[in-house]
Amino acid sequence: MKKVAIGGGQGFWGDSPDAAIHMIRNADIQYMGCDYLAELTLSIMAKQQLKDPTKGFAPDFTTRILKEAGKEAWDKHIKICTNAGGMNINGCVDGIRQWAEGNSMSGYKIGYVTGDNIKDKIPQLLKDGWTFPNFDYDGNFNDILDKIYNCNVYIGHEGIEGCLAEGADVVITGRAADSALFLAPLKYEFGWAADDWDNLARGIMAGHLLECGGQGAGGNYMYDWRNVPRMDELGFPIAELTDDTFEITKAPDCGGIICEQSCKEQFLYEVHDPANYLTPDVNVDISHATITQVGDNRVRIGGVKGKPRPDTLKLCVGYHKGWKTVSMLSFAWPDAYEKAQYCAEVIMKKMQRRGMKADDIHISYIGLNSLHLGVADMSEEALKNLNECVLRIAVFSEDKSECAKIIPEISPLQLNGPPGASFFGGRARVQEVMALWPTTVPRDAVQVESHILEVK
């Protein structure tokens, strides 16, 4: 019976390459998927590309994973699919080409997929009556038109599969959906039909369990993080599928854990409606799925069902929203919180006299309520026993000069305010705020194309 094994080699841009390298060297896999793109990553890359046209992608895919183990992956016929192309797919492809030529890898085939960047199509879509409704809040898309950095559609598996069908050894995309990086090899290998919704859903959930790297194998593990073995050598998950089975495991001789609880946490991650998990490729129903331990670091997944894919595709638009300044001062026991709170009052009175017109001001206390906000324990006992407390003041404004007004007022509070203050995190600076406009576009507005470049 045919079995396809695919590993999850990267969870985000900046993730450790150690598990991917270990997997290539020690696991019995035929494919690896490496996810580099979170929601705002493309906006960051677009901004980089504006300053330097050669940037705008994740160079560490080449300089870290391929440099260390890419030649070995090629020798072992392990094909790698990644969205490291970001906003500059051609730049990423050129970097890989140079790496392959430098390693005398004649015949190495670089596949790449274009079509996710639809910024130049926005004017016509608006003329056609598409309003780009925001998922999260009411707003008029026309208000941000002159502030847009990027407009990237979450494309599905088709372009990646097309490259694999042409013999690609590595496939580079822009904003492909994370799980599509894993579905494409599975659909290609098993020959699933385009409307075989149940199998497509299995492939998507395989990708979903792998796309976050270490998070699927004991990293960020709420259930029992203390007992995750060898977290300093954390391995990433591997999906093994046949026509009848779907199992999650990991490479030998590495840390981490694959168990029912770790898989359940990742299984439900970012799934809003378990009966309707929408992806570009299929509407997945995991409302009756099963997760069963079948061996050491081996879990079997069953009961995944699929329904026809949606008519629209998710579009993330990154745009310039304004400016912010984040300032911090730390205070030590006794009365750490009381002193920090009093210092905040002093600063706000100074800002009022200086006429600061901020659009939003957020004051929190690290060590007390900066994460828990309104549900933090603010009892007298909790406040009295704080060993230390960091005052954090965040100012947002669409006017950059308004954000700058608070900066010179922070450092003097070390001597001009409550006792025990110390400067924390260095002198504040005004930073740009990039925001997301999550929306949809008609599927037929996106033209995905597959390409192959063979190294000479």
> Scanning the structure block, which residue is given the tokens 């009093």?
342
Q: Are 56 and 46 in contact (CB under 8 A)?
A: yes
Q: Are 393 and 326 in contact (CB under 8 A)?
A: yes
Query: What pLDDT, on a 0 to 100 scale, did the predictor assign at position 425?
Result: 76
Q: Where are the domains of the chain?
A: 4-116+154-310, 317-435
Which amino acid would we find at residue 102?
G
Query: What pLDDT, on a 0 to 100 scale, did the predictor assign at position 393?
Result: 96
Mean pLDDT by 10 residues, the chain (456 residues): 96 96 98 95 95 97 98 98 98 98 98 98 97 92 96 98 98 97 98 98 98 96 96 97 97 97 96 96 98 98 98 96 96 94 96 94 95 92 91 97 95 92 86 96 97 97
Query: What pLDDT, on a 0 to 100 scale, did the predictor assign at position 332?
Result: 92
CA distance 315 to 441: 6
Which amino acid would we find at residue 179?
S
CA distance 36 to 322: 26
Residue 417's DSSP bridge partners are none
**Angle between helices 158-165 and 180-190 in degrees, nearest 10:** 50
Query: What pLDDT, on a 0 to 100 scale, did the predictor assign at position 230?
Result: 97
CA distance 296 to 247: 12
CA distances, 407 to each of 38, 349, 364, 401 (Å): 31, 14, 17, 11
User: Containing H/E element for 415?
Assistant: helix 413-416
Q: Are 307 and 282 in contact (CB under 8 A)?
A: yes
Residue 181 tokens, joined? 């990086």
Query: What pLDDT, on a 0 to 100 scale, did the predictor assign at position 223?
Result: 95
Query: What pLDDT, on a 0 to 100 scale, did the predictor assign at position 1?
Result: 85
Query: What pLDDT, on a 0 to 100 scale, did the predictor assign at position 384?
Result: 87
Structurally, what CATH architecture does the domain formed by 317-435 represent?
2-Layer Sandwich (3.30)
Query: What pLDDT, on a 0 to 100 scale, did the predictor assign at position 423?
Result: 82
Query: What pLDDT, on a 0 to 100 scale, did the predictor assign at position 407?
Result: 95
> Scanning the structure block, which residue is given the tokens 């590309």?
49
CA distance 382 to 1: 61
Which amino acid would we find at residue 369?
N
Query: What pLDDT, on a 0 to 100 scale, did the predictor assign at position 137?
Result: 87
Which amino acid would we find at residue 172?
I
